[in-house]
Amino acid sequence: ARAPLLTPRGASSSSTASTLSSSRTACPSPLSTRLSALCPRRPTASTTTFSEASRNLNANDLKTLRDHPDVEYIEQDAIITINAYTQQPGAPWGLGRISHRSKGSTTYEYDTSGGSGTCAYVIDTGVEASHPEFEGRASQIKSFISGQNTDGNGHGTHCAGTIGSKTYGVAKKTKIYGVKVLDNSGSGSYSGIISGMDFAVQDSKSRSCPKGVVANMSLGGGKAQSVNDGAAAMIRAGVFLAVAAGNDNANAANYSPASEPTVCTVGATTSSDARSSFSNYGNLVDIFAPGSNILSTWIGGTTNTISGTSMATPHIVGLGAYLAGLEGFPGAQALCKRIQTLSTKNVLTGIPSGTVNYLAFNGNPSG
């Protein structure tokens, strides 16, 4: 049978092309020797490890090779490129920190495709979807607060900005969906929060999120089994969920949903690589991320700088979306493990015994 002619995506055809050929059979001499006999032109590349070789061919040579019984296929040569890493100078310190192994940088280094194909749910006070920083990628889709359908607080919009806004976001290509479970004063019921979690799971099934679904819960209260069960159900449904460890300088085991073992529980750090004085800790904390003095989007099309494990958590949700966009979605719990594996180890101060010393890192190859 005639050997097929393969054309890589994006390559153009021509009568004379640099072409890769693969042999059907193992033979004592490399394929380039056979090419020399069939088409006596100077080869551009050859290999003795694989039965393949490259040569510039005209139309007649190409026909001769395609008709030869020992040629398995012919493929037009093409150009590949490195990943599209870019730099954002003057970025918020948190973005600089998670893209470098050492503290002090305010340049965010990231792959421009990060977050593409993912969906991020912000279960909070809502999201101001019209904020220009979201570039049309954000939607406020549901409220469980009677008479309040938008973010009248700012907290949820701030978290969403750290996840995926143009300037302040980790994953600048993700799509953001706001689910309002906290009122404009920042309070909400356990039942409303549980309803919001279930809604996010069900809604995500109708969205186009080929690289996975992530969710942010920068909220918490006293330990409640019902809230933990709702969070665990999101994980079982395949949603990566990061939650705030809490702001009481106490053990996260006494708070929900931070105490749910299957979620990714996030503590907060300062720009000097210290645990934030307010950040909860303990063996249920999975990862630390920047949480003190974080600049991000705010209601009214503005920005604001605030602190909390609430601000650390969206760094991790954004990082989850970023990695899923680049590497594919490995599963909800596996994504938290991936973030732990990538993290910068043992650089934080003020970490109590029994708490991980892991600081989030995005895998920047030059970091």
State the amino acid at position 315 in one-letter form. H
Tokens of 178: 């706001």
Residue 229 annotated as binding? Answer: no
Bond into 89 cis (ω within 30): no
Question: Two tokens at 210?
Answer: 């080929």
221, 358, 194, 361: which is closest to 281 by C-alpha? 358
Nearest to 19 by CA among 1, 43, 47: 43
Q: Which of 276, 310, 315, 343 is catalytic?
A: 310
- Look at the block and give the residue holding tokens 């409640």: 224
Inter-CA distances, 96 with 102, 149, 281, 290, 335, Å: 9, 34, 24, 10, 21
DSSP secondary structure of 208-263: --TTEEEEEE---EE--HHHHHHHHHHHHTTEEEEEE--SSSSBGGGEETTT-TTS
Which of 61, 124, 151, 183 is catalytic? The answer is 124
Give catalytic status of residue 187 as yes or no: no
Residues 342, 99: Cα–Cα separation, whole Å: 11
CA distance 6 to 62: 12
Is 286 annotated to bind ligand? Answer: yes
| 265 annotated to bind ligand | yes
Active site residue 23: no
Q: Which of the following is catalytic: 155, 204, 276, 292? A: 155
- Cα distance between residue 153 and residue 156, in whole Å: 8
Give the whole-angstrom CA distance, residue 327 versus residue 264. 19
Active site includes 310? yes
Q: For residue 2, give the DSSP letter.
A: P
Give the residue numbers of the binding site for Ca(2+).
263, 265, 286
Give the residue numbers of the binding site.
263, 265, 286
Q: Which residues are catalytic?
A: 124, 155, 310
